[in-house]
Amino acid sequence: MSWIHEWPARTLMTCRHSSPWRGAPISTMLFLAVEFQLFREIAVNKTDLSNVYRGYIACLNKQDWPNLGQFVHDDVHYNGQRIGLSGYREMLVRDFHEIPDLYFHIQLLVADSSCVASRLDFNCTPKGTFLGLPVNGKKVSFAENVFYQFRGDKIEQVWSVIDKAAIEAQL
C-alpha cells in the first residue's frame, strides 16, 4: 500500500500509548489507518470528478485525441449503446469536422462520487446538415444537457440531450 509511509511505526506506537488508544493492538491501529485512508480517498474522488471533467472538456477543446483515453473508459456507452473508446473518438472527430468552430463551454457542473451532470453551451457554425436540420453555415446557439457515470476516474456512460428546438428556432 503506497500510503502506509504516511503512518510510520512511531506514529502508530505514539497513538497506541496515548489515550484513548492506550494498549490497543497494532492491528487495530492499522485498521484505523486503513479506514482513514479509505475515507480520505472517497472524499478526494468526490471532489476530483469535477476536476477530471474539466480536464476532459479541455481535452475535447484541444482535440487532443491521443489523450482521450485518460478520461474515457475503453467500454464507454453513449445514450445506452456501447460504442467503445474508438467509436467515441470517431464521433468527436466527426463532430469537429462538421462543426469546425466547435467549442465546449461548461455553463453548469454538478458532481458527486460517481456521476457528473453538466449543461454545455455552444455557439458554433455547422457546415451542412446538423441533427437533421439544414444549418448550412449559419451560426447557431444551443445547449446540451449531459450526464456522465464514471468508473473510477474514467467516463463509462454518457447520456446526452441536445436542445434541437433552440436550433430550429434560429433557422
The predicted model scores a pTM of 0.72
Instruction: Please check the confidence at residue 85 and state whether its pLDDT lies above 70.
Output: yes
Query: Looking at residue 3, what is its pLDDT?
Result: 41
- Residue 9: pLDDT band with limits 50, 70, 90: very low
SS3 letters across the chain: CHHHHHCCHHHHHHHHCCCCCCCCCHHHHHHHHHHHHHHHHHHHHHHHHHHHHHHHHHHHHHCCHHHHHHCEEEEEEECCEECHHHHHHHHHHHHHHHCCCCCCEEEEEEECCCEEEEEEEEEECCCCEECCEECCCCCEEEEEEEEEEEECCEEEEEEEEECHHHHHHHC
Closest CA to 97 of 75, 127, 138, 54: 127
Query: Looking at residue 4, what is its pLDDT?
Result: 42
Q: Tell me the mean pLDDT in the region 124-152.
A: 95
Domains and CATH numbers, the chain: 2-170 (3.10.450.50)
Lowest-confidence segment of 34-38, 70-74, 103-107, 108-112 by average pLDDT: 34-38
Whether 60 contacts 72, CB under 8 Å = no
Whether 160 contacts 146, CB under 8 Å = yes
pLDDT tens for each residue of 11-60: 444 444 444 545 555 555 445 555 555 554 555 444 489 999 999 999 99
Closest CA to 159 of 144, 169, 171: 144
Half-sphere exposure of 3 (CA within 13 A, CB side): 10
